[in-house]
Amino acid sequence: MNEHLKDRYAVIGNPIKHSKSPDIHLLFADQTGEILSYEKILAEESQFTQVVEDFFNNGGKGLNVTVPFKNHAYNFVNELSDYAKNARAVNTIYRNNTGEFVGANTDGIGLLRDLKKTLRLQLLNKKILIVGAGGATQGIVEPLLNEKPSELLIANRTPSKAEIIAKQFKSFGNIDYCALNEIPKHHFDLVLHATSVGLEGNNVALPTEIIGPSSCCYDLLYSNQDTPFMEWAKRLRAKTVVDGFGMLLEQAAESFYLWRGKRPDTGMAYHYFRPDRVPKPSL
Ligand code: ATR
């Protein structure tokens, strides 16, 4: 079919060159028999609103939003899903029946599906540490607290930023914050790395005592090779060490569902993109 006749979707960000979202959504479209196009849009911060309006005025049906625009998207839309409202960040935009822009946040749902469905982790009464208090953390706190962990601690270089998030989500569960050098030296069941540090090949200095033989270490960054955080966790023999590809895949599937009303088969997508991460069979 002529590209101009297809429903248009895209991901907007800066940088955007290495985004895997087009490949993922085109595979989902293939799986579900949906006919659509999916492109990458590079935008400058000052142009965000104009670029998004132009996209929707020119046949755009839905947008994924990535770094650094999730907050811009939150301010742009007319209506917010509950997760997006609490996270103050939007990663999925579409229009409702009356043409109003709706903003959703599927990042947290994506992470939770990966943790529970793919990695078969149970978070009830578990100790969780999140390293970093930026936009990525903001999007995952509520769904994590909904799993009722015994403790959710956010450690950040700038503790005041972790404090703001901890206060904001206080009513959802047992959440606390600290500076990186105040992390208690005991095992955590799940350690989530959510800083932007690995992007330059460096790692945040963390106490080795936080990793035990049953710890799961999860880097929200995705990469075809081990990130510095993953290398560190493997050296300490954490039980499970993964990057954020599963979260990327699952958040994309949820966005696809919001746009098209069909659920893609993410299990099959793992076989296609990352055979090393194929979900474990149910017990
Ligand atoms: P994102 O949307 O990817 O989360 P962000 O909002 O810019 O990006 O947040 C980046 C995170 O990485 C923050 O937690 C930041 O810590 P600060 O709040 O103290 O800035 C963290 N970060 C970035 N560079 C860091 C470094 N060199 N050491 C430790 N943390 C760092």
Protein residue with least CA distance to atom 22, ligand 1: 195
Q: Residue 207's pLDDT is what?
A: 97
Give yes or no for residue 52 CB within 6 A of ligand 1: no
Q: Which of 90, 130, 138, 157 to mutate to test the pocket of ligand 1 (most atoms within 8 A of CB)?
A: 157
Give yes or no for residue 132 CB within 6 A of ligand 1: yes
Q: Residue 146's pLDDT is what?
A: 97
- The rounded Å distance from CA 118 to ligand 1 centre is 27
Task: Decide if 228 contacts 198 (C-beta within 8 A).
Answer: yes
Domains of the chain: 3-105+248-273 (3.40.50.10860), 108-243 (3.40.50.720)
- The rounded Å distance from CA 258 to ligand 1 centre is 30
Q: Residue 274's pLDDT is what?
A: 86
The region of weakest confidence among 3-17, 141-155, 226-240, 251-265 is 3-17
Give yes or no for residue 244 CB within 6 A of ligand 1: no
Q: What is the tens place of the pLDDT at every residue in 157-174?
A: 999 999 999 999 999 999
With 50 as the cut, is the pLDDT of residue 283 above it? no
Give yes or no for residue 156 CB within 6 A of ligand 1: yes
* Whole-structure pTM value: 0.93
- Three-state DSSP class for 152? strand
* Residues 6 or more apart in contact with residue 37 via CB below 8 angstroms: 3, 6, 7, 8, 9
- The rounded Å distance from CA 157 to ligand 1 centre is 8
With 70 as the cut, is the pLDDT of residue 281 above it? no
Q: Is 70 a catalytic residue?
A: yes
Closest residue by Cα to residue 111 from 205, 225, 198, 192: 192
Chain centroid to CA 211: how far?
23
Helices (H), 88-193: 107-113, 135-146, 159-168
Q: Residue 33's pLDDT is what?
A: 97
Q: What is the rounded average pLDDT of the residues 217-246? A: 94
Closest residue by Cα to residue 159 from 119, 132, 139: 132
